[in-house]
Amino acid sequence: MTIPSAEGFLPAASCLPCTAEEERAAVEALTRDAEANVKDGDLRYLVSQSWWTNWQSYVGLLSYGENDTDIPLQPTSRPGEIDNRKLVSEENSSGSEEQELQRTLREGEDYTLVPPEVWRKLYDWYKGGPEISRKVICEDPTSRRYIVDVYPLHLALIDERDSSSRTIKLSRKDKVHELYRLVCSILSVEQSKIRLWDYYQKTKNKELVNQSETLEEAQLTMDQEILLEVSVDYTWSSDLAPRCTNNEFALVPLEPSTSSFSIAGGPNISNGYSSRIGSSLPQDNHFNPLLRDTEDGYSGFSNGTKDEIHGLTGLHNLGNTCFMNSAIQSLVHTPPLVEYFLKDYTQEINTDNPLGLQGELAVAFAELLRKLWSAGRTSVPPRAFKSKLSRFAPQFSGYNQHDSQELLAFLLDGLHEDLNRVKKKPYIEAKDADDRPDEEFAEECWNDHKARNDSIIVDKFQGQYKSTLVCPECNKISVTFDPFMYLSLPLPSTVTRMMTVTVFSGTGEFLPMPYTVTVQKNGACRDLFKALSDACCLNDSETLLLAEVYDYRIYRYFSPSELLHSIKDGDQLVAYKLPVGHEKLLRVEILHRKVDRFTSEPQFSISRKLIGSPLVTCIPVDSTSKVDVYAAVSAVLAPFVRAKVHPPGDSMLNGSGPSLDGIVLTDNGASCEKGLSTSNVDEAITDAELLPFNLYLSDDKGHVRNPIDEDSNHVLGPTMRLLMDWSVREHEIYNLKYMEDLPDVFKPGFMSKKTRQEAVNLFSCLDAFLKDEPLGPDDMWYCPSCKEHRQASKKLDLWRLPEILVVHLKRFSYSRYMKNKLDTFVNFPIHHLDMSKYAKHTSRGDQPSIYELYSVINHYGGLGGGHYSAYAKLVEEDNWYHFDDSHVSSVNEEETRTSAAYLLFYRRVDGNSCPMSEDVPVDTDMVDSPEA
């Protein structure tokens, strides 16, 4: 479609109305041009995801269906103004040109990014805001990988001269010399006269002298301090201080501690460092853990005794790094890894593996593990490790929240390649089973895999699948045996969701009432309308107007065709019961504002603090006098009148408003009123002294405060917005508590008992994972017999189980336009997880595969503002602990089994592992589950 240009014919501020098709074509063309010519330093603008989804639906860009199948949506109404207020932090500094964002936003869930040209078009068409722009930075010049720096690096600049502090913002990809230049510009000092120090945790860790490294490479993290020193007569204040202070550590050789302890029944090992560590490597390179262990102001050595507890060290949150901290804590509490990395592992570092990270990830992980297993409980800032992680895995760089399971998969794979004992991988041609027995072919596949992959990770974490494909046409059977690192188990999908909506009367018949209804999770708002209509006994002459309330205002109205997945559990929904055909009447929105004292003067200066929930009613378009407006508002407020002010039978307020039940709408939109009269309203109501409340004409934000005219109040558009001032007088007349504290759409704790009763167990998840199912239409299999791509059926079996079994519960479901989290409680065993039924083969004879739980990664909250923590068991002392970033606390064993469980870590307790104690309780409710 060609769009004629209006350039040169219209003023710059002019914008002709466009059809939905024209808007779609214009945005698509501008987006293609911008993405084809992206470069470092470009801008991208944030747009509220909920608004963007509505716009996509309006222009026909959005389609939806299960399993990514596109199902065109019915056309929706044109969205309102762009509203980015939910993206901006309430603590945004008024003097800042750059909008401060909420810290837990996620792209695709809370916001989308558009090029400047698209933002200008959208703003011309819809207005709104606020405008939020961020810079594009080049993450990898080689691959031309660009990302948007949504969260710039915030640093607290501490001036040593007066201990003053100010916040400065830069990109994490800016060089150190840019930091110096900015500081010099702010303080008007010469660069030759200043020194900047990494001042994390109020400790002078290192001077920032490498001007060419990036701030990320310098290991500067979000919200940390940097220290400014200014020379006086070429003398630095720190040079006058003693050389060794409490804030600095001398880099001198230290002897390993002689105390020892036992890990999971294994041999006693030193809790210090082996004297052979690094002996095969130059002492000045990055593999020397001894000299690097004092980074971040932490000493990894202890003169502790044998009775001191190890492994109870927390990790600082460096800015949304809880996903990383939880994965690290689970790995560093895996007994085989602890034993391995506390010994001399450096002999196995593979620096020549092109698939590895030159051994640097393994060294960084080992250094961090040793710090965490030193005696004492001081929390550790994992800055060096995060710096390495950002360099090798750019997808985890920055300060956004990420998926702990994705990080765990990267760490296990990266550690394997860095520690691969195979220095030169042989070429092995894939073979076919050729009707050989499964045992023979599986062993051959495993040996071929081990010939190329041999590490501590393979030894402990990897098992083997059996995959069977059957052609639906010729019944050709193809069997392969593949390695796996963890099991990603689906949760039985819940197709419904519970939603709570507060229903208000638009005619003043009843007090607000919350209703909780069950609807299809993948449904539309029309399903919610239907469920609410049944719940509140709606009659044929009534209908519901559904809206979201945010910040005491109506944030948006919902059309029947809008999808329910755009409504989050934390939103607050209201529905107004109005007469059928209310769209042809004038809608009246009433906002509430708290004032210190009663006044009828519009010019009186008062604070504009909104309270309560908006009320909505409607009046005929030709009944907008002051008397009509006050009568309508009096009617809708009638249920909130305190009984002691107006006893039963007093009709001063309750009967003074127009009855909307008497409105009859004709086909041409004209209205006639049966019994609709305001004559019973005393003319004295216009006297300010007798008015029961003060009303003003306002806007949708409650910022405007204009008087109401006596005769008629003309309103542009279909809505009249009113502002009602609440002083002590109004509170004496009306009970505001019924308009306050709206319930959320859904609170996980509200139905916790019900959720637990309807929970599934781990074995049902395993059965769902291993069941026979056809491949998807986008994942066709090429049948070697038919010579065609076929939609074959696929069956997975667990052939060989690892010593460490990691189970990933797939709580997050994704389709092209929807992301969702399942909070289903999964009843998993802590002791005696018997996998014998699922293990088709074991190299250990007839001994059953019994597993014990030793760690859990939890995810709390939703996709946008979620939080990760970990439970881990100190196997040596048989106690469980909760690792929540830097906070470590003791927990009971049963507390580890919650609906927040996301990743489960089991260790086999047969063969070479420590046997299960006879007095350990067995989960009898789970033992028989596999037979069900």
Q: Report the alpha-carbon distance of residue 420 to residue 52 in Å, rounded.
A: 47
Buried-exposed string 647-668: b where 16+ CB fall within 10 A, e elsewhere: eeeeeebbebbbebeebebeee
Catalytic residue among 333, 402, 582, 867: 867
Q: Is 867 a catalytic residue?
A: yes
Q: Report the alpha-carbon distance of residue 188 to residue 197 in Å, rounded.
A: 18
Q: Report the alpha-carbon distance of residue 875 to residue 804 in Å, rounded.
A: 14
Q: Are 49 and 112 in contact (CB under 8 A)?
A: yes
Catalytic residue among 310, 316, 322, 765: 322
Strand 901-908, strand 850-860: pairing:
antiparallel
Angle, to 10 degrees, between the axis of helix 360-372 and the axis of helix 383-392?
160
Q: Report the alpha-carbon distance of residue 332 to residue 888 in Å, rounded.
A: 14
Q: Are 701 and 593 in contact (CB under 8 A)?
A: no
Cα–Cα distances (Å) from 245 to 240, 249, 300, 302, 493, in that order, read 12, 8, 18, 19, 59
* Tokens 């994992």 belong to residue: 382
Neighbouring CB atoms inside 10 A of 924's CB total 9
Buried-exposed string 870-898: b where 16+ CB fall within 10 A, e elsewhere: bbbbbbbeeebbbbbbeebeeeebeebbe
Sign of the torsion formed by the C-alpha atoms of 925, 926, 927 and 928: positive
CA proximity to 302, closest of 371, 204, 201: 371
Assigned token pair, 85: 């207020």
Assigned token pair, 51: 């608004």
Q: Are 191 and 234 in contact (CB under 8 A)?
A: no
- Cβ-in-10-Å burial (0-12, 13-18, 19+) of 76 comes to buried
Helices (H), 218-309: 289-292
Assigned token pair, 404: 């702990």
Sign of the torsion formed by the C-alpha atoms of 515, 518, 522 and 527: negative
DSSP letter at 152 equals: P
Q: Report the alpha-carbon distance of residue 834 to residue 829 in Å, rounded.
A: 9
Q: What is the DSSP string of 392-455?
A: H-GGG-SSS---HHHHHHHHHHHHHHHT-S-SSPPP------TT--HHHHHHHHHHHHHHH--S
CA proximity to 825, closest of 884, 768, 754, 773: 754
Helices (H), 472-587: 525-535
Q: Report the alpha-carbon distance of residue 58 to residue 890 in Å, rounded.
A: 52
Neighbouring CB atoms inside 10 A of 241's CB total 11
Q: What is the DSSP string of 1-23?
A: ------TTTS-TT------HHHH
Q: Report the alpha-carbon distance of residue 733 to residue 467 in Å, rounded.
A: 73
Q: Report the alpha-carbon distance of residue 502 to residue 804 in Å, rounded.
A: 49
Q: Are 860 and 900 in contact (CB under 8 A)?
A: yes
Quote the radius of gyration of the chain (alpha carbons, Å): 33
Q: Report the alpha-carbon distance of residue 93 to residue 385 in Å, rounded.
A: 33
3-state DSSP helix/strand/coil % of the chain, to nearest 5: 25, 25, 50
Q: Is 322 a catalytic residue?
A: yes
Give the residue numbers marked as catalytic. 322, 867
